[in-house]
Structure 1
Amino acid sequence: MIRARDIFTQIQKLTSKLIVSGLVIDQCSPTIRRLSNSQREEVNISDIQSESSSIFLKKIPYKTLYYELLERRFYNVKMIDGALIQMQYIFCNNKIERHRLSFFPNPDLYSFQDYPEVYLEDKLYSDIVDIRLVCVPLRFDYDASRNDDGEMIAKPIVHPISHLTIGQYKNCRIPVKSALTPYQFIEFIVRNFYNTDTVIYTDYLDTWNKYFEESIFDEEKNIINISIPVY
């Protein structure tokens, strides 16, 4: 069984490994706390304002959202290209209830404007200077919570328990087989956005052989969905 403390420790270790890899230029330590008057434990980002999460409810342009997150330092790590990564979990009675795992690319790539020679000469940035590049945020959400009547918030296909949202599209919810551990999420991001043909940055990450139980609805297995490997 994966508990909140396991997730907290894993995020700490992953952050250290990312720093060693040279991919991270800033980081905020994770925190773990028990929510008042409940059996819930939250793994979140240190030093965030209590109202920081409300920013996701605002109808604002992506560029504005990115810079608000940057200003508030509402991220676990800031990658070398300015992308922001967030990892937030809530457990209830030692069982995962929710998570939000987000990847916010830099919409302006200001580092390229400041240091174009670095981007042009370093293989890591070969895709960044490509005029075809499109800035698209990604978010893996998990929500197994229930409303006041005891009914699950999630609904088959319409609102999968675990799902991937691409961009800020409200109804983009691609079913995912289960909740993701921090390792699975970071490995996915590094493998798809930072590995190159000469440097395999995922090799810096220590494999974590723990995983969450399958949560996908049977109806969702008959449509395109995302499988999560068991290590």
Structure 2
Amino acid sequence: MAIRPETMMQHLNKLCFEWDKAGLSLDSNSSCIRQAGEGKLLVSWNSDNIVLKENEFSSLSEYLTLLLGSHYTLVLFDGSIIQISYTIHRNEIVGHRLCWYPSPIELADINEIDDIVYKIQLILKEGSDALEDFITAPNKSPSVNIKGIYGKSPIRFDYCIVPDYQKDAHPDVHLHISSEECRIPVKTPLCIRMFMKFLVENFYSHIPLEGVLVNGLPSWENNDMLTQHHKNKMHFNYQR
């Protein structure tokens, strides 16, 4: 797929505009173009750090770091974080990071990012008190009653071209669930439309696919990146 970085940036900014206009987001970041080395350009959300290494994947600390550091393309109405970035070399897409990070708490009547942080703080305090009561109770109940924090895994579709000898163990396109070490092979890189369609179909079925929010998003053909080793095991496949 041939695409100029400036065009990709426009696509991502249009996505944010439409979801903001529909009242489906709490916040969004405009996208920008950065040097990524070796002649590559990264089209991504506009914040100081793009990929964070110091926080564990699928952890409350990582969620809060992404939220407070503004490391996102969109924050949806339910507190979920969406990250969309594409790496481009000579007008060809050679990498992407497409992540949906669900909120660990249920949100209602939340209008600001700070409200999410405050609610998490409150739930953690109440949960700590409940845990202390459980531990110190002379006649313990069979379960500890800590409400409000949910163990929801993020999902992240990564694309990066690796040497042939590494492909079987590290698929060029793969899906992370729960752990960085989990790399489920995916047939092709994802376009913007396919990623957002996957999210809406599986997590936001009340949002219409037709129109500018999903089916009006850019789409393009991609090459099959699976090795025979991947085809012989469980993997992600889809038809455009």
TM-score for the superposition, normalised by structure 2: 0.73
Match of 2:40 in 1: 40
SS at match of 2:99: strand
SS at match of 2:199: helix
Query: Structure 1: any 5+ residue segments left out of the alignment?
Result: 116-130, 146-150
Match of 1:80 among 60, 77, 101: 77
Aligned residues of 1:87 and 1:100 also touching (Cα < 8 A): yes
> Identity of paired residues, percent?
26
Match of 1:213 in 2: 223
Query: Structure 2: any 5+ residue segments left out of the alignment?
Result: 112-147
Q: Alpha-carbon deviation of 1:201?
A: 5.2
Aligned residues of 2:192 and 2:218 also touching (Cα < 8 A): no
Match of 2:200 among 190, 194, 204: 190
The structure-2 alpha-carbon separation of the partners of 1:177 and 1:57, relative to structure 1 and needing over 3 Å to count, comes to farther
Q: Alpha-carbon deviation of 1:222?
A: 1.6
The structure-2 alpha-carbon separation of the partners of 1:21 and 1:211, relative to structure 1 and needing over 3 Å to count, comes to farther
The structure-2 alpha-carbon separation of the partners of 1:65 and 1:161, relative to structure 1 and needing over 3 Å to count, comes to same
Aligned residues of 1:174 and 1:226 also touching (Cα < 8 A): yes
The structure-2 alpha-carbon separation of the partners of 1:223 and 1:61, relative to structure 1 and needing over 3 Å to count, comes to closer
| Superposed structure 1 runs of 4+ greater than 3 Å apart | 33-36, 56-61, 112-115, 151-154, 201-204
The structure-2 alpha-carbon separation of the partners of 1:67 and 1:19, relative to structure 1 and needing over 3 Å to count, comes to same
Kindly provide the CA deviation profile for residues 184-212 of structure 1, in whole angstroms up to 9, marking residues without a partner as x: 1112112211122xx52554320434132
Match of 2:132 in 1: none
Is 2:142 the counterpart of 1:138? Answer: no
Matches within 5 A, 1:1-231: 1-3=1-3, 4-35=5-36, 38-46=38-46, 48-50=47-49, 53=51, 55-59=52-56, 62-109=59-106, 111-112=107-108, 134-145=151-162, 151-152=163-164, 154-156=166-168, 158-167=169-178, 169-196=179-206, 199-200=207-208, 203=211, 204-205=213-214, 206-230=216-240
Aligned residues of 1:102 and 1:137 also touching (Cα < 8 A): yes
The structure-2 alpha-carbon separation of the partners of 1:60 and 1:101, relative to structure 1 and needing over 3 Å to count, comes to closer
Q: Alpha-carbon deviation of 1:61?
A: 6.8
Larger Rg: 2
TM-score for the superposition, normalised by structure 1: 0.76
CA RMSD of aligned residues (A): 2.8
